[in-house]
Amino acid sequence: MKTAIVLALLLSIALVATGCRRQDAVGSTMSDKQQNALNANLAKLEDTLRDKSPFIFAKLAPSATNEELATLQSELGGVQIQGLELWYGWHNGCTDRGTDILPLGRMLSIAEALEDRKMTQGIPFVDAKRKNALKILEDGAGDGFFLDIASANPRVFYHMLEDPDPRDYGTLQEFVAFIRDVHAAGLATKKENGMVAFDLDRYQKVEADYLQKLQNP
């Protein structure tokens, strides 16, 4: 009986360790149709932020340089993740730490995202899904929105360390359209201290509708 318990415990530990091992990033290219859809959604988001949330638009950093994109590719094992490069080719993060583009979501630069990923790899027993991803939006407490870069068809998800069930937010082009919908609805305002506030009740309705459409397209 004792032997069986010990064996079960050892097996459980082995499974946890295996499940939490980081996988290498996987190259991911997009069809012309997918590229056009993502670029179109990024352009619409750009216009919407400029019109509806200019206080956020003003804080967006410039596009990533070729050198920064080369660093991204190198640090991810030399593979190209085309959607991620288009995302950073739009804007490479933001210029301060107090400007969220979504509730619990400040845009990270390539350097910030890579540093976060490196730190995550050194934390034992972090969820495997998180280890195999790159954080693109930070919630200020270490969690946020991630892109699964260990998949040939990467998707965005929201993850909290204490939550065993990360929430799927669709493809990057779908996620960008969701961000646009949030700002098109006028849900963001600028507080006196310069930080961004969102109408959370209305945001939750927009978010729920979006997630429902993802499940039932």
pTM above 0.75, yes or no: yes
In total, how many domains does the chain have? 1
Kindly give the interhelix angle for 200-215 and 172-184, rounded to the nearest 10 degrees: 150
Show the domain range for 83: 2-215
| pLDDT tens digits for range 54-100 | 999 999 999 999 999 999 999 999 999 999 999 999 999 999 988 99
| Residue 87 to residue 176: CA distance in whole angstroms | 9
| pLDDT tens digits for range 107-134 | 999 999 999 999 988 888 788 888 889 9
Q: Is the pLDDT of residue 23 over 70?
A: no
Confidence of residue 13 (pLDDT cuts 50, 70, 90): very low
| pLDDT tens digits for range 193-211 | 889 999 999 999 999 999 9
Residue 186's CATH number:
3.40.1580.10
How far are the Cα atoms of 56, 82, 91, 106, 131 from residue 59, in angstroms, in the given order?
Answer: 5, 25, 10, 11, 29
Q: How many CB atoms lie within 10 A of CB 62?
A: 9
